[in-house]
Amino acid sequence: MSVVLETFKRRKEELFRQLKQSAVLTPELERAITDVYGGRGKRALEAVKCQRVVKKGQRWFVRGKTDEYEVVRDFCTCRDYVMNIATEKADVDMCYHALAKNICEILNSYYVLEP
């Protein structure tokens, strides 16, 4: 595994450890998210703050700019995931939809729609 991947993996693990210890999204956590995930982190935070992360029963959805995407674990139905994440062209392991879902799931903060 490359040094870059190892560094990213360590930074991600630390970020998620901090998220799990916190009950809220602090400015420090927001900075850490954008430090690790860059622009995708910024868009994920926007989705979280604008309540675009939705849980319908046991299924998770994130409303993007033009569509709503289903997220299962770290997998997403969006074009970015298919074109960049799954093919490992991106320097991160999640699209912003999956990151937003994971943030909300950890913090137990999302918009719920009953089935």
Q: Domain map of the chain by residue range?
A: 3-113
Q: What confidence tier does 1 reach under pLDDT thresholds 50, 70, 90? A: low
Supply the pTM of this predicted model: 0.92
Q: How far apart are the C-alpha atoms of 100 and 43, rounded to whole Å? A: 8
State pLDDT tens for residues 16-52: 999 999 988 999 999 999 999 999 999 999 999 999 9
Residue given tokens 């602090």 in the structure block: 26
